[in-house]
Amino acid sequence: MKISKNLPNLGGSISPNLLEGEKIGQIERVHLVANRIMRLNAIEKGIELIDMGTDYYYPFYHEYEPTKQALQALGSYADEVLHYPSSYGLISLRSSFQDFMSTQFNVELDLHQEIMITTGASQVFDALSRSFAGTYVLIPEFTLSTVAIIAGGNGAKLIRLPVGECGFFDLIEAEKIVNNLPEKSIRFLYLNSPCNPNGKVAKWEYLNELVQFALRQEILILHDMDSWYTTHNNETDLVNILEIPQAKRCSLTVLSLSKEFGLPGLRIGLVAGNDYAINVIRMHNSTFSVMIPEVCQYAAKAALDSFNAEHQKPEINEYVGYLIKKSIAGWQSMGWPPEAIHSPDGGFKYLLSVPPHLQSQGEFTAVELFDYYVLSRAYVKLSTIRSFNPERQQYIRLIVMQNEALLEEAFRRMKEIGVDYHSMQLPDSLGQEYATLIKENIGGDF
């Protein structure tokens, strides 16, 4: 955080919560700064940087009918930008979401009491962590950095719950942790399924046990379902938390248009569930003038209304599944054994173990140096597990959102610079090189 040299007390000094949020997000910030700098470097050299670590763009949706309908609606409803929108969200979009939840998950919702439109899923994290007065936010051991940054930046104390054999937090251990808190004062418990970063899918039995745990402990569950139909085997069904009996008593689910329709720029979040928590988000957005551009809401409605699960769902599943298998084959061709590739059950992301013989250098772990080496030599950007948990350092996180040609090019480049699970070596000076790059650029934008 840059401090003014001339007016150090400008504004009464910087909020401690903001400083805490920046501290929590420092590793992710380094990831984004390195991405930006090396992207500019690649442009100067006439090379396309291939990003496999930041999901800001989904090129395979260009010919997808719901996405095309949404883009067309942006022009058709352009006049809506001439007036201020409501903080509550369009009734027509909420109605479309109501129909979607009914047909996709067999969940019936009250249009006015149990549905809310927000500016993306991240704004839900912000509204809940700002509006509730609890001391703690419970998060899995591996959690999207945005959730931790926002909750911590809003003054909550973060408690990480250890992962069990199912790939999600162990509920027995979670209950012990909650029972041993000095005060049972919890803003919410965060669950992401399909999980970013490991691609695990929470099954009905686990979600049922989770709901019972939340009811016993009087905890609000926030199920972030940012990928809501992409699965990679016939045995995996994506279950929404609201399908579980009694879940509405203690649960919210948040979906978005970003992942499954390739429309992250719309910034539309679709939130449903517990009427008390929904009303809290409404109060927050109304009080703090959070307004969602209606042109974006009409585009979201066009995407939902034109979505046909029977025909379009298999289309995306087949394509994403094919790309994931192709990427796994790419790592295998560079010597990665099966146990070092953690293939996903759902979503777009999965984990990859780094070669065990690589060593840390200075302030950087082996996984960070592996990431930087591939970025700086091949102009292929990955991401590391440290953004999800600073204490863990064994995994690279992969995002499969590239078209087939880019995927092939990424592996060609990595092979060219000597990436290999068994034999690759990193330069002894790599840590100092990375430290210099960050020091010279960390004050800039992303």
pLDDT for 356-371, tens place per residue? 999 999 999 999 999 9
**Region of poorest pLDDT, from 205-209, 261-265, 321-325, 373-377:** 261-265
Considering the domain architecture, whether residues 76 and 178 belong to the same structural domain is answered as: yes
**Beta bridge mates, 383:** 397
**Region of poorest pLDDT, from 202-211, 309-318, 423-432:** 309-318
**Which of 309, 326, 342 corresponds to the end of one domain?**
309
Residue 329 domain boundaries: 16-61+311-442
Q: Is the pLDDT of residue 214 over 90?
A: yes
Q: Is the pLDDT of residue 70 over 60?
A: yes
Distance between CA atoms of residues 115 and 87, nearest Å: 13
Considering the domain architecture, whether residues 128 and 162 belong to the same structural domain is answered as: yes
Q: Is the pLDDT of residue 7 over 80?
A: no
**Region of poorest pLDDT, from 47-61, 104-118, 187-201:** 47-61
Of the candidates 245, 202, 249, 163, the residue with the CA atom closest to the CA atom of residue 346: 202
More confident residue, 25 or 247: 247
In a domain, 8, yes or no: no
Q: Are 308 and 158 in contact (CB under 8 A)?
A: no
In a domain, 329, yes or no: yes
Alpha helix (H) residue ranges in 307-403: 309-332, 366-378
Considering the domain architecture, whether residues 422 and 296 belong to the same structural domain is answered as: no
- pLDDT, mean of residues 430-434: 94
The DSSP letter of residue 265 is G
Considering the domain architecture, whether residues 121 and 248 belong to the same structural domain is answered as: yes
Look up the pTM and report it: 0.92
In a domain, 375, yes or no: yes
- pLDDT, mean of residues 418-439: 94
**Which of 309, 339, 364 corresponds to the end of one domain?**
309
In a domain, 2, yes or no: no
Q: Is the dihedral of CA 81, 87, 92, 94 positive or negative?
A: positive
| pLDDT digit string, tens, across residues 223-270 | 999 888 888 876 678 999 999 999 999 999 999 888 888 888 899 999
| pLDDT digit string, tens, across residues 113-128 | 999 999 999 999 999 9
In a domain, 20, yes or no: yes
In a domain, 149, yes or no: yes
In the chain, how many domains are there? 2
Distance between CA atoms of residues 12 and 15, nearest Å: 9
In a domain, 6, yes or no: no
For residue 444, the model assigns a pLDDT of 56
Residue 186 C-alpha from the chain's centroid: 22
Token pair, residue 103, equals: 């047909």
- 59 band by pLDDT with thresholds 50, 70 and 90: low
Indicate which CATH number applies to the domain containing 420: 3.90.1150.10
**How much of the chain is helix, strand and coil, in % rounded to 5?**
50, 15, 40
Exposed, middle or buried, 59 (CB in 10 Å: 0-12/13-18/19+)?
exposed
In a domain, 3, yes or no: no
Q: Is the pLDDT of residue 389 over 80?
A: yes
- 306 band by pLDDT with thresholds 50, 70 and 90: very high
* Cα-based distances in Å from 47 to 24, 50, 293, 379, 417: 33, 9, 36, 8, 15
Considering the domain architecture, whether residues 389 and 269 belong to the same structural domain is answered as: no
Considering the domain architecture, whether residues 267 and 396 belong to the same structural domain is answered as: no
Distance between CA atoms of residues 215 and 385, nearest Å: 31
Considering the domain architecture, whether residues 278 and 407 belong to the same structural domain is answered as: no
- pLDDT, mean of residues 304-331: 88
Considering the domain architecture, whether residues 300 and 329 belong to the same structural domain is answered as: no
Considering the domain architecture, whether residues 274 and 316 belong to the same structural domain is answered as: no
Considering the domain architecture, whether residues 97 and 156 belong to the same structural domain is answered as: yes
Considering the domain architecture, whether residues 225 and 320 belong to the same structural domain is answered as: no
Indicate which CATH number applies to the domain containing 241: 3.40.640.10
Considering the domain architecture, whether residues 303 and 194 belong to the same structural domain is answered as: yes
